[in-house]
Structure 1
Amino acid sequence: MMDPRPSAQDVMRCDLCETAVVQMHCDTCLVNLCTACVGKHMISDQSINHKVVTIQSRKSTPLYPVCTSHAKEQCEMYCKHCDIPVCLSYIASKHHLSHELFKILQVVGEKKYMITKERNELNETIYPIYQDIASNVQNRISELQKEYGDLSTAITKHGEDWHREIDKLVKKLKAEVDEMKNTQLQTLQKHLDEINKNISDIKDEIDSIETAIDTNDLSKLLNVSSNAHTYRCLPNKIIPSLLKFIPGKMHQEELSKMFGVLSSSSSTSDKHGYSMKTTQKSPEAVSSPQVKQLLDEPETVTTIRTGYTKAGSSPPVKQLLDEPESVTTIDTVYSGILGGLYNVACLSDEEIWTSGTDNAMKLYSINQGSLLKSITTKSGNNPYDIAVTKSGDLVYTDYIDRTVNIVKNEKIEEVIRLQKWRPRGVCSTTSGDLLVIMDSNDNKQTKVVRYSGSTETQTIQFDDKGKPLYSYGPFYRYITENRNLDICVSDSEAKAVVVVNQAGKLRFRYTGHTLALKNKPFDPQGITTDSQGHILIANYNNDCVHMTDQDGQFLRYIECRLSVPYGLCTDTNDNLFVAQYGDRQVKKIKYLK
């Protein structure tokens, strides 16, 4: 007898009799039933509330959670206080008195709405973004492989160029050796020929005398004359001056510098690099420090009096720098009309460097307020800006001399000498590089250049549209690096702080806060950052310091009775040091808890 159930494309059969075609479904027990077996199933376990529906309506009845305390009872309510589903018996037992209860279907509905919304976001927004990120990373991998291939090719080509130049040098030296050898050989050969001729003549003389001695012919003997006196004066001795080859000493470090070096580079984790709005944030370069809250009111901790020339009643008159090529004009401006304190840089939590309108950079004790050391610039010019490196060395820019210099053990070394540019602000980065903002000789261009040692590794001058990032002209500009590796420049002519990321891409411009204290134009001068990524900008017009977050959002003013604030720096404890042009004092200010 043939099996009534075809083996191919079989229909659903009843789970009880396993023969009849399914027509019904128990949503409680999750079994398929034929109409004949429904009654049998309903009485099989009468303690359960069986919900039998047509096969087409299966899963339409919700499957409630089974109560853990009351076996076989379904939880149709949900306790928000306990965050658990509960059955009616559990509620009746007064275990959830005063607790907020909801129908579980309502809670599930809200849950379903939230996860559906998240599913849609995952499916429609996040998943495509991750696909784009993966594609971008893959493209970057391909680009990186090509770039490093090009780098290796460039090094190989440079090596081949060196080999060719060395081959040329070797060929030139060997040609000089051959030329000198031939000249000296010709001289010696000529000398040898002259001596051989004398030898031949002397032998003939000897033969002539012996013949005369042996003859009986007296007349011949009387006619013989000896020329021995001619040969008694011996010829000059010719001693060739032999060339020597003195090989140059090969020092690996110097040879590496001459050949070329690789600028420092590293892969950093870009915490804010990807965004749902595809707006790139600046990267977090280091682990997040302890979060510090702002003090309700900043307070002055100490005041250090410096010995710089008394400042005038007004801040620097910038128009006097219209002729940057004229050394006399600049010297007059710095040493005569202005006078005062400009810059401050923390050497440690106990000592600060300062500079002003003379050619001395002075080291002060913070706690004692005493002068510890004074260093005079190499050229005798006034330093434009100062900074301290990671190793504790003092760096300063000489605008007139076009140099960036470093002070090591009280000895000044020239690190960078510019040709058609003049350095203004300088800062030392976390990687040990130097960032220098500079003007062209004609005051029509401004750019930021990164140096690894004396090697230029990066130039930042234009935005994505090819427009200048910074204003130009004889105006003050200072620079610092934030903890997220952003590069922050205070541009007094533009009345703005310009912030770019590590790659040089513009992030934002901060143009001051609308509620200015004295309602004077925002004129940024000194600039610094702290461990929290805050940006602090000296605004000498309004005798205050502006504080923003790392994205340029204004946070507060720092006043503390400041008098024409110019230079700024922070120590490792996030204390702010303000160099005041007005009274030539440095104030140490606490503004974080």
Structure 2
Amino acid sequence: MATTSDEQAAGQHYLVCGIQDCQKNGQFYCNDCHQPMCEQCKDKHRKSPNNKNHDIVLYRQRKHQLPIEKCKLHPTKNVDIFCRECKTPLCLKCFLGKDHKGHEFDDLEEIYAEKYALWQGEFSKIQKYFLPTSEDLKTDIEEDVIEIKKIMECIRTSMKAEAESLKNLVDEVTSENIEHTHTMEKSLLQMLKSQETTYNDYIKYLGKMSEKFQEYLSTTNKKLMSSKILKLKTIPETSKPVQPVFTPGQFNRDDVAKLLGILNIPNTEPEKRKIQPMEAVSTPMKFTEKQMEQSKEKSDMKQTLSLSSSVTKVREYSVPGVYSACHVSADKSGRLWVSDFGSLVQTDLQGKLLQNIQTSGRDDGYHTATQDRGLIYTDRYKKVIYRITSDRKITEFIKTGDWEPVSVHSSRINVDILVGMYKDRDRMMKDEEAKVTRYNKAGKEIQNIQRDNQGQELYDYPHYITENINGDICTSDYDKKAVVVVNKSGQHRFSYTGQGSVFRPYGICTDVLGHILVCDDVSETVHLLDQDGGFLSVILSEQQGIELPRGVCVDDENNLYVGQLRTNPVTVYKYLE
């Protein structure tokens, strides 16, 4: 339960003035009396002669009161003095004793306040500079990892393409060479065939000549003597073919490596990551009344706004087309989007129906108004996020893969899209996952938030989501029974678990002062928290006619819209002034 004891005021709508019977907003603090004061009581307090030297500051710049600690030597006395020489805290009785006679002393409360401010300043530096900057650097590294993987994959693809190209060239040249062997073989064989024919013809010629000689040899001497002498043709001359010779190519592994290219890292100095300089994260300052008045004069509307002394109902109107007002989004045009189980409608501020869209939505924060007067909504079963433009055109915006998008918020700081997601890997084994994903305005995934620094799951079912003025991402997690808040880098800041034994959060929103407003299904109330998760008050309850609050949002005029289960009127309240 993220609370601050001195800021709790159950049933109140702000920090109450500590002056008796005054119920106004205690925005100032007397460091001498240790009590909050409203502006009027602060002025009266200052006018009293007894209080004219009292140190009065803004409540957030107050000195923290010294914790009560009993003296070990005098158990009935409180320790509130510090002996410089002995370097030990004392009570009044110790101070008056002989052991510390002539010593120099300090007000222990002053030392405590200084130390508290110092360590609070260091803590603030961690939260506001060191952690976010380190997370940004870590994100930078993660982006570099993705980039390196992409580059190496491209290089591998290029290498394979080069190798394939070389293989194709080798195959092409080899094919040409083999074809050349066939041509050469055919030519040589034709030459040898011709020579074979020559000898075949000559052998036939010899056969005929042999027959003639045998004929002459079998005749009479007279005929033999009178016949012409036959001369034989000489044996034809032929040449042996010159045998082809294959000379292997002269190459080695290095030659092939050169052909395929070389991979290396350029010999250049690595670029150092840019670390943003730490802005002045100062410790709480002490303001004079004159400085406070000057600051007040220079402040804008945001700074002059404060919690009203009472919550005022402005108006109420029924929303046609829905049975319940489970989630409410107010857009820049002054119109309202309201949803229940399957219906998403747009109305004007008089309750006139302008659009009616059938969806797969349930009692989750599955739609969000955008800065360009449009709307973004999720379809958890199709695993798609849709965009509606100001001209009522519906387009598919983002596909979420295996994850069911259950809640969505359009940032007013940088127009990023924050989506609460859920994945049921094995329903029988109850094996489930949840996360928050950030997309840029183009729908590109740029951040995933799922676990804390110890590796523990942050979310179970983030069914409503919003963003605070400091960039904190605030989710209402029904199964976790908590409001889970992380900073813009995804670092877990705190979890708020309500004020009772059971807390079931639903609709959640923030306002211009950084307050967090969240509906509790169990107590049927709306809780008001400060920016750090400290409980301030139950701002709406049954006393204001609230039953089963579900959806809440604050518009640009600081009006609070509240929707409820099992009834379709939306009620509008003023709680800032």
Larger deviation, residues 346-355 vs 191-200: 191-200
> Structure 1 residue 268: deviation in Å?
9.0
Out of 447, 456, 465, the position equivalent to 1:479 is: 465
* 3-state DSSP of counterpart to 2:164: helix
**Counterpart amino acid of residue 459 in structure 1:** I
Residue 576 in 1 paired to residue 576 in 2? Answer: no
C-alpha spacing 1:267/1:487, structure 2 compared with 1 (3 Å): farther
Q: Give distance in 2, aligned partners of 1:438 and 1:364.
A: 28
The total of aligned residue pairs comes to 383
Out of 487, 490, 500, the position equivalent to 2:476 is: 490
| 2:229 match | none
> Structure 1 residue 301: deviation in Å?
2.2
Query: Normalising by structure 2, what TM-score?
Result: 0.50
| 1:567 match | 551
Q: Give distance in 1, aligned partners of 2:416 and 2:125.
A: 27
Q: Give distance in 1, aligned partners of 2:127 and 2:317.
A: 55
Query: Normalising by structure 1, what TM-score?
Result: 0.49
Q: Deviations over 1:76-133 (max 9, x none)?
A: xxxxxxxxxxxxxxxxxxxxxxxx999xxxx99x9xxxxx999876667527964895
Task: Give the gaps of 5 or more residues in structure 2.
Answer: 1-46, 56-103, 198-204, 209-273, 287-299
Out of 505, 511, 533, the position equivalent to 2:498 is: 511
> Structure 1 residue 357: deviation in Å?
1.6
**Counterpart amino acid of residue 353 in structure 1:** W
C-alpha spacing 1:198/1:158, structure 2 compared with 1 (3 Å): same
**Counterpart amino acid of residue 427 in structure 1:** H
| 2:167 match | 179
Q: Deviations over 1:417-474 (max 9, x none)?
A: 345xx44333233343444444452656665524243435353555x8887666x5xx
Q: Give distance in 1, aligned partners of 2:347 and 2:127.
A: 53
Residue 451 in 1 paired to residue 438 in 2? Answer: yes
C-alpha spacing 1:192/1:495, structure 2 compared with 1 (3 Å): closer
Is the CA contact 2:526–2:538 (under 8 Å) kept in the aligned structure 1? no
C-alpha spacing 1:275/1:423, structure 2 compared with 1 (3 Å): farther
> Structure 1 residue 571: deviation in Å?
0.9
Is the CA contact 2:563–2:570 (under 8 Å) kept in the aligned structure 1? yes
Residue 396 in 1 paired to residue 396 in 2? Answer: no
Out of 334, 355, 362, the position equivalent to 2:345 is: 362
> Structure 1 residue 267: deviation in Å?
8.3
* 3-state DSSP of counterpart to 2:304: coil
Q: Give distance in 1, aligned partners of 2:111 and 2:196.
A: 125
Q: Deviations over 1:325-370 (max 9, x none)?
A: xxxxxxxxxxxxxxx4422212224222232222x53332224x33
**Counterpart amino acid of residue 388 in structure 1:** A
| 2:330 match | 346
* 3-state DSSP of counterpart to 1:584: strand
Matches within 5 A, 1:154-303: 162=150, 164-194=152-182, 288-294=302-308, 296-303=310-317
* 3-state DSSP of counterpart to 1:480: strand
Q: Give distance in 2, aligned partners of 1:265 and 1:303.
A: 52
> Structure 1 residue 572: deviation in Å?
0.5
Q: Deviations over 1:11-38 (max 9, x none)?
A: xxxxxxxxxxxxxxxxxxxxxxxxxxxx
> Structure 1 residue 544: deviation in Å?
4.9
Q: Give distance in 2, aligned partners of 1:548 and 1:139.
A: 19
C-alpha spacing 1:171/1:531, structure 2 compared with 1 (3 Å): closer
**Counterpart amino acid of residue 511 in structure 1:** G
**Counterpart amino acid of residue 290 in structure 1:** T
**Counterpart amino acid of residue 496 in structure 2:** R
| 2:510 match | 529
> Structure 1 residue 561: deviation in Å?
3.9
Is the CA contact 1:303–1:585 (under 8 Å) kept in the aligned structure 2? yes
Matches within 5 A, 1:534-545: 534-539=515-520, 544-545=525-526
Matches within 5 A, 1:38-437: 126=114, 130=118, 162=150, 164-194=152-182, 288-294=302-308, 296-308=310-322, 310=323, 340-358=324-342, 360-367=343-350, 369-375=351-357, 377=359, 384=364, 385-402=366-383, 404-407=385-388, 409-418=393-402, 422-429=404-411, 430-437=413-420
Q: For the aligned residues, what is the CA RMSD?
A: 5.5
**Counterpart amino acid of residue 348 in structure 2:** S
Q: Deviations over 1:231-266 (max 9, x none)?
A: xxxxxxxxxxxxxxxxxxxxxxxxxxxxxxxxx998
Q: Give distance in 2, aligned partners of 1:350 and 1:272.
A: 39
Q: Give distance in 2, aligned partners of 1:527 and 1:142.
A: 29
> Structure 1 residue 291: deviation in Å?
0.9
Q: Deviations over 1:515-562 (max 9, x none)?
A: xxxxxx764321212213333233456665344444321053266544
Q: Give distance in 2, aligned partners of 1:195 and 1:411.
A: 66
Whose RCO is larger (CA < 8 A, sep 6+)? 2
> Structure 1 residue 296: deviation in Å?
3.6
**Counterpart amino acid of residue 447 in structure 2:** T
> Structure 1 residue 573: deviation in Å?
0.6
> Structure 1 residue 165: deviation in Å?
3.6
Q: Give distance in 1, aligned partners of 2:126 and 2:335.
A: 49
Q: Deviations over 1:478-524 (max 9, x none)?
A: 2222324444333445655455555644446252479xxxxxx7643
Is the CA contact 1:383–1:396 (under 8 Å) kept in the aligned structure 2? no
Q: Deviations over 1:135-193 (max 9, x none)?
A: 99699999999988887777777666555444432232122222222333344444455
Q: Give distance in 1, aligned partners of 2:48 and 2:369.
A: 64
* 3-state DSSP of counterpart to 2:321: coil
Task: Give the gaps of 5 or more residues in structure 1.
Answer: 1-99, 111-115, 210-216, 221-263, 277-285, 311-339, 515-520
Q: Deviations over 1:218-243 (max 9, x none)?
A: xx9xxxxxxxxxxxxxxxxxxxxxxx
> Structure 1 residue 203: deviation in Å?
9.1
Is the CA contact 1:496–1:512 (under 8 Å) kept in the aligned structure 2? no
* 3-state DSSP of counterpart to 2:535: coil
> Structure 1 residue 306: deviation in Å?
2.4
Q: Give distance in 2, aligned partners of 1:200 and 1:135.
A: 94
Is the CA contact 2:133–2:275 (under 8 Å) kept in the aligned structure 1? no
* 3-state DSSP of counterpart to 1:172: helix
* 3-state DSSP of counterpart to 2:338: strand
**Counterpart amino acid of residue 570 in structure 1:** V
Matches within 5 A, 1:545-556: 545-550=526-531, 551-554=534-537, 556=539
**Counterpart amino acid of residue 394 in structure 1:** L
